[in-house]
Amino acid sequence: MKLWQPNQTQIDEALISSFAKLHGFTDNNYQVLHDWSVGDAPKFWDSVWDFCGVLGEKGDITLAEKPHMVESQWFPQAKLNYAENLLNANGGAPTITFYGEEKVRRELNFKELQVAVSQCQQALKERDIKKGDRVVAILPNTLETIVAMLAVTSLGAVWSSASPDFGVNGVLDRFGQIEPKVLFCVDGYYYNGKWIDCIPKNQEISAAIPSLIETVQISYHGNNSDGWAAFFAPYSACEVSFERVEFNHPLFILFSSGTTGKPKCIVHGHGGTLLQHVKEQQLHSNLKVGDRLFYFTTCGWMMWNWLVSGLASGVDLVLYDGNPFATKPDILFDIVERENVTHFGTSAKYLEACNKAKLEPRASHKLEALRTLFSTGSPLAPQSFRYVYNKIKPDVHLASISGGTDIISCFALGNPTQPVWLGELQCLGLGMAVNVFDHEGKSTQNKGDLVCTQSFPCMPVGFWNDIDNRAYRNAYFDVYDNAWCHGDFVETTLHEGQHHVGMIIHGRSDAILNPGGVRIGTAEIYRQVEKIDEVMESVVIGQQWQNDVRVVLFVRLAEGVTLDGSLIADIKQQIRTNATPRHVPNLIIAVNDIPRTKSGKIVELAVRDVVHGREIKNKTSLANPEALTLFENLEQLT
């Protein structure tokens, strides 16, 4: 069912149409354009660099191709700097506006942003922060976070961030691996109208990271008396300098969800991140100089990195921190209206919640400026597609997008020149050789694994401290030979007369939990449950439930222990305090045994499959296959 169709003027004025015409594609046939972008990928990416106004020295070689995708290198002669591109803004002069629920509103114009970055850069230089050093942050999605990130990356140093709702262990599991020199943190934040004090946690974390030379504590309210102001005080504004670095020089360290141990430190480079983001934002999202981009995200999610890259396209940014239903259920739409937002991004879970709350922004708000609505984090249910067009705005471009931390961007996303179909992501990303493989590694028109069969610029540089890229290869290339396996279970679509391949995502094909679009690693939960004396062992899965995923924790208890309300509360509190509130299971169920392999590894996927009534393969690898019957037809899960 077609829900939206752009008119001819919208098609003609779209940046992707201008890009297509440069290469002789004039009939609005996206599939032909996409086929060219992967068939002659070096020419495509070279053209993206120029069309999107990337600053830097490109060099003469676009792709040094090697037999394996991991070994191939894009733009091996290039020199550029991510922050330089954001602070030159493609001819624009963006402003950044911050909302802390409805308690705080602050703003930086472009000149003020450049001044703040110059002062922060000088302070970092004074502390001998240089190319390759790591600087980390436990900060909300606020103005100072962007300033600090730009100052850090302008020097060629490496940025990594987490949101302040992470517990101490959750932070240390991440930042403890990468030996940062400076930590930026916040004194507190608002959530659901309540002030959350972060100072004791900051002190504990700072004391536990021996590599730190300084911790800078920032006031959520922007007070001049805080550590941030003292950090800046000795320095006058001057021109920001930029260390141009290699295309693959580390820019960001993001973290996997820690399914089998501590989160893996995924390193993304300056060139690949920038090039992919400007391609997605200008060509797929039609973001132009002067547009206003608002994405509801935290600094622990890759969508924050994607959001701030909007500065490189000359667009204003709108930031929000806190509960999206804090003081009233439609607070985000209040901001969209008040700030004349043209592109609004959120999660599928948020849209579902708005639908259940019977919000009708179409009737209650003036949304004339809004052109594009992004949804990501989890598959957008068909009823949410209908809700957007019936209750939010009938002529909006709804772009359901999907990719992940692993590529800091998308494999499938929106297209402003093509229709929106019910329940589908509009198209495969330009330059991304996306395919669907069956279990034998053959392309299929049926459901299968999302793969990418060619190298692309935003592949991770690697994992931090990963000798010979061993863990990196195991993470993405262990399933299919020389093809990136992303872990999504998908199918592609092609309607009659449609000039692009769409995609439907049916969920994750691995053990990562994904409630409300938030990636959660099972190991992060296990590390907390193990501290509960009454619990002998546990297994956690994601159960498909009401168009989302709910986290279910199964526990095998010590002899004589009963799973009563008090123990359930203790387990949840342990997880909430030391991981994040998002890690807390929806259900905790006691079982007498938990299946494991002969080597002692708990088999999460087998448990998940039993709960969903699926066939279990390879039972011979289990030491106690009879334990699987304990998870069949449980009344608590129906």
By the 8 A CB rule, do 400 and 380 touch?
yes
Query: Using an 8 Å Cβ cutoff, are 73 and 62 in contact?
Result: no
First to last CA, the chain: 31
The tokens 């931390």 sit on which residue?
Answer: 405
Q: How confident is the model at residue 614 (pLDDT cuts 50, 70, 90)?
A: confident
- Say whether pLDDT at 569 is over 60: yes
Q: Are residues 466 and 250 in contact, defined by beta-carbon separation less than 8 angstroms?
A: no
Angle of helix 270-278 versus helix 41-51 axis, rounded to 10: 80
* Cβ–Cβ under 8 Å, residues 537 and 514: no
- Give yes or no for a contact between 469 and 482, defined as CB atoms under 8 angstroms apart: no
- Per the model's pLDDT, the better-predicted residue between 546 and 516 turns out to be 546
- Phi then psi for residue 449, to 5 deg, are -85, 135
Residues 6+ apart with CB under 8 A from 134: 157, 158, 159, 160, 178, 179, 180, 181, 253
pLDDT of 573 > 80? The answer is: yes
- Structure confidence by residue, pLDDT tens digits, 259-318: 445 788 999 999 999 999 999 999 999 999 999 999 999 998 899 999 999 999 999 999
- Which pTM does this prediction carry? 0.85
Residues β-bridged to residue 57: 79
Q: Write down the pLDDT at residue 321.
A: 96
Spatial neighbors of 176 by CB under 8 A, at least 6 apart, are: 208, 209
480 contacts 437 by C-beta, under 8 angstroms: yes
Please provide residue 528's backbone torsions phi and psi, each rounded to the nearest 5 degrees: -85, -40
Measured distance CA(273)–CA(269) in Å, rounded: 6
Please, which pLDDT band fits residue 90 given cuts at 50, 70 and 90? confident
pLDDT, the chain, mean = 92
Across residues 117-129, what is the average pLDDT?
97
Per the CB < 8 A criterion, the answer to whether 293 and 307 are in contact is: yes
pLDDT for the residue numbered 618: 59
CA distance 49 to 557: 58
Which secondary-structure segment (H or E) carries 535?
Answer: strand 535-545
Are the C-beta atoms of 370 and 396 separated by less than 8 Å?
A: yes
- Separation between Cα atoms, residue 182 and residue 215, nearest integer Å: 6
Share of the chain above pLDDT 90, in %: 76
From residue 77, give the alpha-carbon distance in Å to each of 12, 132, 248, 273: 36, 19, 10, 17
Tell me what the mean pLDDT of segment 46-71 comes to: 97
What is the C-alpha to C-alpha distance for residues 190 and 403, in angstroms, rounded to an integer? 30
Assigned token pair, 374: 């992004």
Q: Do 30 and 38 contact (CB within 8 A), yes or no?
A: no
Question: What pLDDT is attached to residue 294?
Answer: 98
Residue 469: is its pLDDT beyond 60? yes
Contact 416, 286 (CB under 8 A): yes
What domains lie within the chain, and their CATH numbers?
Answer: 2-506 (3.40.50.12780), 520-637 (3.30.300.30)
Q: Which residue has the tokens 């391609």?
A: 279
pLDDT at 170 over 90: no
Q: What is the DSSP string of 450-497?
A: EEE-S--TTS-SEETT-GGGHHHHHHHHSSSTTSEEEEEEEEEE--TT
Alpha-carbon gap, residue 253 to 242, rounded angstroms: 20
Categorize the per-residue pLDDT at 600 as very low, low, confident or very high, splitting at 50, 70 and 90: low
- DSSP annotation string for 74-113: ESTT-EE-HHHHHHHGGG----EEEEETTTEEEEE-HHHH
The 10 Å Cβ neighbour count of residue 385 is 22
Q: Report the alpha-carbon distance of residue 339 to residue 327 in Å, rounded.
A: 18
Q: 186-200, 363-377, 500-514: which has the minimum mean pLDDT?
A: 500-514
Mean pLDDT of 405-411: 96
Q: What is the mean pLDDT of residues 526-530?
A: 84
Task: Note the pLDDT of residue 327.
Answer: 84
Mean pLDDT of the 99-104 span = 93
Top-confidence residue, 304 or 349: 304
pLDDT band of 625, cuts 50, 70, 90: confident
Give the pLDDT score at 599.
Answer: 45
Which helix (H) or strand (E) covers residue 383, if one does?
helix 382-387
Give, in degrees to the nearest 5, the angle at Cα 37 between 32 and 41.
150
Are 576 and 584 a contacting pair, CB within 8 Å? yes
**Cβ neighbour number for residue 369 with a 10 Å cutoff:** 15
Phi, psi of 573 (to 5 degrees): -65, -40
User: Is the pLDDT confidence value at 225 over 70?
Assistant: no
372 vs 326 pLDDT, higher one = 372
In this predicted structure, the answer to whether residue 533 has a pLDDT above a threshold of 70 is yes
